Amino acid sequence: MNFSVGQRWASNTEPQLGLGLITDVSGRRITIRFPAAEEERTYATDTAPLSRIQYSPGDQISNQDGETFTVIEVNELRGILIYLAVDGSGGEIQIPELDLNAFVQFTHPHQRFFGGQLDRNKEYELRVDTLNHQHRLQQSPVRGLMGSRTSLLPHQVYIASEVAGRYAPRVLLADEVGLGKTIEAGMIIHQQLHTGLASRVLILLPTSLVHQWLVEMLRRFNMSFAVFNQERLEAMEETASGNPFETEQRIIVDIDFFQQSMVARQLALDAEWDLVVVDEAHHLAWSETEVSSEYLFVEQLAQQSKGLLLLTATPEQIGIEGHFARLRLLDPARFHSLDAFRQEAAHYGQLNELVKQVVVAETLNEELRIQLREYLGDEMDADTFDSDQIIRHLLDRHGTGRVLFRNTRAAIKGFPQRCLNAYPLPQPDIYQGIDGQFALYPETLVEEEQWISDDPRVEWLVEHLKALKVQKVLVICHNAATALALDKYLTLRVGIRSASFYEGLSIIERDRAAAYFADQDQGAQTLICSEIGSEGRNFQFAHHLVLFDLPLNPDLLEQRIGRLDRIGQQHDIQIHVPYLLGTAQESLYRWFHEGINLFQQSCSAGYMIFQKFQQPLEALLLSGNQANLDHLIQDTRVFTEATLEELHNGRDQLLERNSCDMKVASDLIERIQQEEQSDTLFEYMESLFDNFGLDVEDHSEHALVITPSDNMRTQHFPGLKDEGNTVTFDRQRALSREDMDYLTWEHPMVYENMDVIISSELGNANLAQMSLAALPAGTLLLEAWYCMHSAAPGYLQLERYLPLSPTRYLIDPSGKNLSAAVSYEKLAELCEPIRKQMALQVIPQIRGQVEQMLQHAQHFAGEYQQLLQQQALEQMSSGLEEERNRLVALREVNPNIRQDEIDHLTRRMAESKVYIEKSVLELQALRVVINSGGKK
């Protein structure tokens, strides 16, 4: 392919972008701007999925002003086509291809029909089915929520629906450990991408989580990401010019990489992002006097990115200052003062008390009405009492509910029991004289060979693993050296299959260790982790946890337990704690167990408890005074109970109400399940596989095996592997069989093939015959399908108001529309194929009549197009205007409503109006049916 600046090309994979214009040709890369969709793409010249657009004499073209002309001659000047065309009055004009209208689509059923390029009946019917399914899915209230390989958990579905539907969402996901923040983020990203609200996504992660996220996004959401590091950037800089971060749409980066490379940091800032996601965001250090380099970088990214998702520990775990630091990344104008935020937070308890009064009230008494009027103004003058509506108003207008989502384990329920198994062991002589916090990890001060031999915890661990036999056991200890030594001892000297997971390993080595542990047949019985094993990696397939030592911070202990105690765990958690009697280990164990009860139940107030008692705890570990320990435990127990009660009565309930509306979530899940329980997708995909020539075999219930064949329509079938795929349509089967592809309407194999069908000519021209004695032989019927087409940018979500709207006309020779009298299904039953040779002989004979019938169909379509446009304008205006007015009103009482959201709605209304007015009802498929006569 020869490329020149100014040429017009179309994307084969994204035809909805309209007519593209080459703006740059540099080496082996070309850049194309798509004015209609306001998008730009960069392609490699040797693999660009593009088609050169060249019109022929007789074709209709239009310029950028929308004026239509007929081509009479085509010339070329330095690679650029010059069209000589005539307007409606016969005047000639030269139109360089540079001036062509970008709002075009490249399917012409009538041209293919009259040229004898006919499709088989089943191809035509597949196209019609595809149009109707696409139309239905565009309007689905669960669009973007159906495609994840996850359990349908209410809090996750609700958060995804609530957040992902916003323009450029900027929110904090702060669920308690084990509730699946990664899944929530994946669902949000998936829906934003699927609905067109976002296309460029950057995910920043700690080193240990890079590969896990890469795998999870692909396995659970079918979203592929590119991992950028120094090696990749250097390789790209050698082969391509421009910003490497602009060559991929979805990128994962280790956040530490940006601290090591200022060049990479600036390149990432120079690229535009629709959505930036930061996991473990609580590690971004900030205070009023000192700000970390990592925080400053994320702050810069947040300022230029449209959307921002921060996955973080709970507000209670990081304290009010840390919580404020995350919020100011989301909206620095709103959260500008820590002191002001402290004052605001102090009122949450009062508001929560008011919410509780509304919940229990049967009627609205005057006292309650006065209190509510202080928050809601004159809205409380209404006579009717709707507690749900009042609570929604309160939550919508006050607090941080719009930007913060925090679900608790207590509210979600369904978690396993934590079962504590303590093992007091004698202190060996080698540890005598080791005091204070050093006694928590005494092995670090003794030669490895000596402590491995003499520490009773080691012998206990060996015996315990042998007793558990084939059961998986996760062992967590504080130091990497301890983990490595235990792994070597168990593997080389005891003969127990073991793997280790610590900060000295590369990402690949960590992944191999985790995979070896996960293997149920030939894998390791135990995985020994250093403290990093407590963050990010989940092993809920195991239910035995050995705490070889204990961390000082309660939150770290909660994270350790949370690797097993999380959603998806099928068994009670057996927590095994060996400790050395008469040492700091025993004191810390008792403080955790008797003071906080942390081994047996999750505690969301660990940070506050540790902040309160850190100094006396450290002093006690140094002194070992038993009497002081008893007092400290009692004080801790009292403080813990009071703190948890305060959290329960204060912000906790407010956030829970706003983080998961069970009624909304249940409705969404029910709609998703209705889609899944229907056989419609299964039947559609069977037709799709058949039409594209794939080999299909039954595998088991709700499962098929599909493989490439020698008779495939195309060499590239989206999602099909060279060795074939085993696919299932059942969610529960997919969750238990990761080797199967889980097909939903939002799986790439489904929606990409649907896009291929709609954007191609497949099935858009068909000639069939029927045998009806009631009609004279030779009678023609024209079945024409029209669909609305717009090249609007995805972020406008124009299909909400202007979906495909497949519209059928059945035209008889007199020009009447018989579509209401004869259904599509009935006509399809009557249609039989015509031999190709006969069809080619018939078409010239019936061309004039078919052209007249097409004119009648086009007349009907033109009238209906105006109606659809008018309805779309009305729905768009009323819907967006209502939402805009709502946000304007809310902003007066709740500064969490961002002005750019309001401005976006204003721009969106204006742009949507333009694209609706430019939309057209285009012919997508036609079928001509010839009656051959016959029996009634």
The residues near 283 (Cβ < 8 Å, ≥ 6 apart) are 206, 294
CA dist 325 and 353 (Å) reads: 27
| 211 token code pair | 């590969």
For residue 109, the SS3 value is: helix
Q: Give CA–CA dist 549/584, Å, rounded.
A: 11
Question: Is the CB of residue 868 less than 8 Å from the CB of residue 921?
Answer: yes
Residues in the chain: 936
Beta bridge partners of 788: 921
CA distance 456 to 477: 15
Between CA 176 and CA 647 the distance in angstroms is: 14
842 is known to lie in a ligand binding site: no
Cβ neighbour number for residue 393 with a 10 Å cutoff: 19
Q: Could you tell me the strand order of the sheet in which 498-501 lies?
A: 418-425, 573-580, 544-547, 473-476, 526-529, 498-501
Residue 121: Cβ-neighbour burial (10 angstroms; 0-12, 13-18, 19+): middle
Residue with tokens 């100011």, as numbered in its chain: 328
User: According to the annotation, is 176 in a ligand binding site?
Assistant: yes
- Asked if 94 and 84 count as a contact pair (C-beta separation under 8 A), the reply is yes
- List the one residue out of 295, 312, 232 whose CA is nearest residue 264: 232
The C-alpha atoms of residue 677 and residue 673 are separated, in whole angstroms, by 6
Distance CA 731, CA 734 (A): 5
Listed residue (96, 123, 89, 92) closest to 109, CA to CA: 123
Tell me if 727 sits within 8 A of 75, measured CB to CB.
no
3-state secondary structure 908-930: HHHHHHHHHHHCEEEEEEEEEEE
HSE toward the beta carbon, residue 33, CA cutoff 13 A: 7
Q: How far apart are CA 757 and CA 764, in angstroms?
A: 9
DSSP element (H, E) containing 577: strand 573-580
**Alpha-carbon gap, residue 555 to 232, rounded angstroms:** 36
The span from the CA of 226 to the CA of 236, in Å, is 13
Does 178 belong to an annotated binding site?
yes
374 labelled ligand-binding: no
Alpha helices (runs of H) in 525-605, residue ranges in sequence order:
554-562, 584-590
Helix 748-759, helix 680-692: angle, nearest 10: 60
10 Å CB burial of residue 408 (0-12, 13-18, 19+) is buried
Tell me if 289 is assigned to a ligand binding site. no
Rg, the chain, Cα only:
33
Does residue 119 contact residue 766 with C-beta atoms inside 8 Å?
yes
**What distances in angstroms separate CA 754 from CA 106, 424, 770, one per listed residue?**
16, 64, 29
Q: What is the DSSP letter of 158?
A: H
The angle at the Cα of 350, spanning 349 to 355, to the nearest 5 degrees, equals 95
- E strand intervals along 380-485: 404-405, 418-425, 473-476
Which three-class secondary structure state does DSSP give residue 286?
Answer: strand
Structural contact between residues 501 and 532, judged by C-beta atoms closer than 8 angstroms: yes
**DSSP 8-class letter at 347:** T
Residue 174 CB neighbour total at 10 angstroms: 26
The answer to whether the annotation marks 177 as part of a ligand binding site is yes
Strands 703-707 and 725-728: antiparallel
DSSP state for residue 203 in the 8-state scheme: E
Which residues make up each annotated binding site? 175-182
Which residues make up each annotated binding site for ATP? 175-182
